[in-house]
Chains A and B, each alone.
Chain A
């Protein structure tokens, strides 16, 4: 019988749950609110329903992401660096560099097969993250995906030099007032964001194959800007938001099978799925 494992990835903006055995049985993506614990329970319940199994059927649960410590029913916590690496490796075994553009941070991971050799993260600043793009999209009254497509129609690129999200927003407003085209502004913006992430990732020496993942990978504007900067086409997983959760479920599976092979008991938590909130 194939073991069933689950990965719960509580990111700063999105919460993702994946249940797997040999294949993906369920995957849920929902927004992360302030009450991580309650949300983790809720999203897990939805995923169980989608998979048509009960909580007790899940052999091992691994949590990751910023909110990983707020998943009371998880057997183990690991960082999203390890989980992304494992998830990406399952899709692209030849991947050597992973660039993850998340809501609150962006990071680059250097891989040797599924092993993480090194990583870098952007530091204490929204520039170069999904949140930066979101704020700007809101200011322009556009959706994120729409903004990506729009950038492809640019005739030239308007340079937005401010890295501070608030100042960049102000800069954009004044560029619009000067009559710059929205397409050119967003194209310049993507170029700027990608430039920052690229230079951070270059600290690890970007190597092919390179995979872009996280919410940012859903924007065609980001991918095209990366393609230009890298000089080759990066790979993108089928659902970039899910690689962390898939990786978590796979790492849980590795641990479960590993302990079975060694005939060791698998350390699991006394766990229950319940409704609890941060504030109780």
Chain B
């Protein structure tokens, strides 16, 4: 039976919402409002509560990657002297901001990235931190860095208490800094209100991911990487809640009708480690679909901590916990435990480990995780060499070769459900 790719209906809304986000940011910038660059886990809620616009250059890398223009931007960064070993998301942004002549920047996707008035990041990814330092000097704008310690096992109230306290102190300092900078008063009630919305959007997102435990899964990892964006870009705002609500209802419909986004018959359910290879999304969907295989879950889809860790009455504490309890912020032991549970909850048949060549952060420990998981669960695993944005670091023939061989192993073993 020919497999049918059935993208979610929400795809149209997603495009509109993302376009609107960039239009609004540019409009605000032109009207003289403050724009902050944030890394993915920065305490942006506080910025929004003080009417500061937020832009995520890392996410911009993702958009460029999907649009297939990243390699060219990476090359522009290399022409400035940056090594190809540097993360391609970062090179992409440097190429867009710095490597593209000013008058050409508006021709870039979403008109490029508006210049920052201030910069925020946490210490999660050293590459981003270094890039922010560079741009702080380059634009001569202040940089605020938050510590985000890795949790050794997993975040828990007892083990995390000390880090939460430190995190809250840092946020308080950050508020004072912002008050001095903007001359505006920080309103904690406004922050609490936005956290009510954020918790709701987060809950809906976790529900959506949980719905993928159904067979067939109503959404694949390749969908999730796109549909997380409204939550990412509009955290704490009604748009994210509305979007995630509609997304969840569409997924519920699909569950009721047993509709998979990729295949007519879901034969194998896979774990996908790391983010998808942005510039190959469509081809990879087709390749997996040709075998009836669907990557149904990725740890990276759990981008933020659990809604259970959020309490809008204690907004500062919630913000800190939300960033500390992200599954990807766990040490090896904690990640292996989390993934072991996914294997059971999502009835997985195999593991696809995407090794993003230029992301040292996600590569570290990937082999150990794979070994531990294959030993613990008995599932086969395959390592795919690739990159998020730089197409020169990926080879179709190698990908196909490995997936073909992996599918032969799965065929020999049969699905766990049969």
Chain A interface residues toward B at CB < 8 A: 66, 78-79, 81-82, 105, 115-121, 123-124, 203
Beta-carbon contact of B409 and A121 below 8 Å: no
As a 0/1 sequence over residues 370 to 413 of chain B, the CB contacts with chain A under 8 angstroms (1 = contact) are 01001000001111010000000101011001101100110010
Chain B residue contacts of A118, Cβ below 8 A: 374, 380-381, 409
Beta-carbon contact of A79 and B395 below 8 Å: no
CB distance from A6 to the nearest CB of B (A): 20
Of A66, A78, A117, which contacts B380 at CB under 8 A? A117
Also in contact, A124 and B383, with CB within 8 A (given A66-B397, A79-B404): no
Nearest-CB residue, chain A, relative to B406 = A119
Chain B interface residues toward A at CB < 8 A: 367, 371, 374, 380-383, 385, 393, 395, 397-398, 401-402, 404-405, 408-409, 412
Beta-carbon contact of A79 and B401 below 8 Å: yes
Beta-carbon contact of A81 and B405 below 8 Å: yes
Can you sample 16 A-B contacts with CB below 8 Å?
A78-B408, A79-B401, A81-B405, A81-B408, A82-B405, A105-B398, A116-B408, A118-B374, A118-B380, A118-B381, A118-B409, A119-B382, A121-B401, A123-B385, A124-B395, A203-B367
Chain A residue contacts of B405, Cβ below 8 A: 79, 81-82, 116, 119
Nearest-CB residue, chain B, relative to A79 = B405
Beta-carbon contact of B412 and A115 below 8 Å: yes
Q: Bound complex: CA of A118 vs CA of B401, how far in Å?
A: 14
CB distance from A263 to the nearest CB of B (A): 21
Chain A residue contacts of B374, Cβ below 8 A: 118
Also in contact, A120 and B383, with CB within 8 A (given A66-B397, A115-B412, A203-B367): yes
CB distance from B168 to the nearest CB of A (A): 43
Nearest-CB residue, chain A, relative to B394 = A124
Q: Bound complex: CA of A115 vs CA of B408, how far in Å?
A: 10
- Most-contacted residue by chain B among A78, A115, A121, A123 (CB, 10 A): A123
Chain B residue contacts of A66, Cβ below 8 A: 397, 401
CB distance from B359 to the nearest CB of A (A): 16
Chain A residue contacts of B398, Cβ below 8 A: 105, 121, 123-124
Chain B residue contacts of A79, Cβ below 8 A: 401, 404-405, 408
CB distance from B320 to the nearest CB of A (A): 38
CB distance from A49 to the nearest CB of B (A): 32
Q: Bound complex: CA of A203 vs CA of B402, how far in Å?
A: 16
Chain B residue contacts of A120, Cβ below 8 A: 383
Beta-carbon contact of B395 and A117 below 8 Å: no
Nearest-CB residue, chain A, relative to B413 = A115
CB distance from A272 to the nearest CB of B (A): 26
Q: Bound complex: CA of A248 vs CA of B397, how far in Å?
A: 20
Beta-carbon contact of B397 and A117 below 8 Å: no
CB distance from A105 to the nearest CB of B (A): 8
Chain B residue contacts of A121, Cβ below 8 A: 398, 401-402
CB distance from B366 to the nearest CB of A (A): 11
Nearest-CB residue, chain B, relative to A78 = B408
CB distance from B412 to the nearest CB of A (A): 6
Nearest-CB residue, chain A, relative to B397 = A66
CB distance from A200 to the nearest CB of B (A): 10
Q: Bound complex: CA of A82 vs CA of B412, how far in Å?
A: 10
CB distance from A148 to the nearest CB of B (A): 28
Q: Bound complex: CA of A115 vs CA of B402, how far in Å?
A: 16
CB distance from B418 to the nearest CB of A (A): 17
* New contact pairs (14) apart from A82-B405, A105-B398, A124-B395, CB-CB < 8 Å: A79-B401, A79-B404, A79-B408, A115-B412, A116-B405, A116-B408, A117-B409, A118-B380, A118-B381, A118-B409, A119-B382, A121-B402, A124-B393, A203-B371
Also in contact, A124 and B408, with CB within 8 A (given A66-B397, A117-B380): no
Chain A residue contacts of B402, Cβ below 8 A: 121
CB distance from A197 to the nearest CB of B (A): 16
CB distance from B311 to the nearest CB of A (A): 44
Nearest-CB residue, chain A, relative to B385 = A123
Chain A residue contacts of B404, Cβ below 8 A: 79
Top 5 A-B pairs, shortest CB-CB distance: A81-B405, A123-B385, A79-B405, A79-B404, A82-B408
CB distance from A108 to the nearest CB of B (A): 12
CB distance from B22 to the nearest CB of A (A): 34
CB distance from A78 to the nearest CB of B (A): 6
CB distance from B395 to the nearest CB of A (A): 5
CB distance from B93 to the nearest CB of A (A): 25
Chain B residue contacts of A116, Cβ below 8 A: 405, 408-409, 412
Q: Bound complex: CA of A119 vs CA of B405, how far in Å?
A: 8
Chain A residue contacts of B380, Cβ below 8 A: 117-118
Chain A residue contacts of B408, Cβ below 8 A: 78-79, 81-82, 116
Q: Bound complex: CA of A119 vs CA of B380, how far in Å?
A: 9
Chain B residue contacts of A117, Cβ below 8 A: 380, 409
Q: Bound complex: CA of A121 vs CA of B405, how far in Å?
A: 11
Q: Bound complex: CA of A78 vs CA of B409, how far in Å?
A: 11
Q: Bound complex: CA of A78 vs CA of B407, how far in Å?
A: 10
Q: Bound complex: CA of A136 vs CA of B385, how far in Å?
A: 26
CB distance from B107 to the nearest CB of A (A): 32
CB distance from A228 to the nearest CB of B (A): 25
Chain B residue contacts of A124, Cβ below 8 A: 385, 393, 395, 398
Q: Bound complex: CA of A78 vs CA of B405, how far in Å?
A: 8
Q: Bound complex: CA of A54 vs CA of B241, how far in Å?
A: 69
Chain A residue contacts of B371, Cβ below 8 A: 203
Chain A residue contacts of B409, Cβ below 8 A: 116-119
CB distance from B350 to the nearest CB of A (A): 10
Nearest-CB residue, chain B, relative to A12 = B397
Q: Bound complex: CA of A121 vs CA of B371, how far in Å?
A: 16
Q: Bound complex: CA of A230 vs CA of B145, how far in Å?
A: 49
- Most-contacted residue by chain A among B374, B382, B404 (CB, 10 A): B404
Chain A residue contacts of B385, Cβ below 8 A: 123-124
Q: Bound complex: CA of A203 vs CA of B375, how far in Å?
A: 13
- Most-contacted residue by chain A among B367, B381, B398 (CB, 10 A): B398
Nearest-CB residue, chain A, relative to B402 = A121
Q: Bound complex: CA of A1 vs CA of B162, how far in Å?
A: 77
Chain A residue contacts of B367, Cβ below 8 A: 203
Nearest-CB residue, chain A, relative to B403 = A79
Q: Bound complex: CA of A119 vs CA of B350, how far in Å?
A: 13
CB distance from B353 to the nearest CB of A (A): 11
Q: Bound complex: CA of A81 vs CA of B395, how far in Å?
A: 18
Chain B residue contacts of A81, Cβ below 8 A: 405, 408
Chain B residue contacts of A78, Cβ below 8 A: 408
